[in-house]
Amino acid sequence: MKSHRKELWFETKTRLAFVNITEDVQAALAASGVREGLCLVNAMHITASVFINDDESGLHEDYARWLEKLAPFDPSPEAYHHNRTGEDNGDAHHKRQIMGREVVVAITKGRLDFGRWEQIFYGEFDGRRDKRVLVKIIGA
C-alpha cells in the first residue's frame, strides 16, 4: 500500500472565501503515484470547510448569503456563547458544519474519479490568517 501526505496553505484576504483547490489536489495525486485508492481532503481548522460543488461565482455568492442567514456573523457573546472565550468567530464554527469538514474522492487509473462538474473547494469562514488543508492519499 502506498500513502502520500500534502499540506496546502491559505491566507484569504476576506473573512469568508471560497478557493478552488482541485489542481492542488491533482498535483498531490500525481506526486503520490497512486493509481487506485482513496483521497481524503480535509480542513485542519474548525472554522473552515472542504467541499465539492460548482466553480460558479453566482453560486458562491448564494452560499455566502445563505450561510450568513443560517449562522450570521455576530461577535457578541450573547449571540454565540463561544465568543465568551474572547473569540468573535462563533458563526464560523456553525457555517463549517453546514458545508462539511472533508471530502473523500475515489482514485481510478491515477485520476480523481469525478463527475463532469465536480470541483474541490476550500471554504474559509474566519480568514485573514494562515490556515491549512490536508491531502492524504492511500492506495496502490
Kindly list the residues in this chain that would bind a second copy in the complex (CB under 8 A). Answer: 1, 3, 5, 36-38, 40, 42-46, 51-54, 56-59, 61-63, 66, 70-71, 77, 80-85, 90, 93-94, 96-106, 108, 113-118, 132, 134, 136, 138-140
Least distance to a second copy, CB of residue 13, Å: 21
Radius of gyration of the chain (CA): 16
Least distance to a second copy, CB of residue 114, Å: 7
C-alpha cell at 93: 464554527
Least distance to a second copy, CB of residue 27, Å: 18
Nearer to a second copy, 27 or 46 (CB): 46
C-alpha cell at 127: 480568514
Nearer to a second copy, 5 or 128 (CB): 5
Least distance to a second copy, CB of residue 44, Å: 3
Dihedral, CA of residue 91, residue 95, residue 96 and residue 97, to nearest 10: 110
> How many H-runs (helices) and E-runs (strands) does the chain carry?
3, 8
C-alpha cell at 34: 497512486
Q: Compute φ and ψ for 92, nearest 5 degrees.
A: -65, -35
Nearer to a second copy, 21 or 43 (CB): 43
Nearer to a second copy, 27 or 138 (CB): 138
Other C-beta atoms within 10 Å of 33: how many? 12
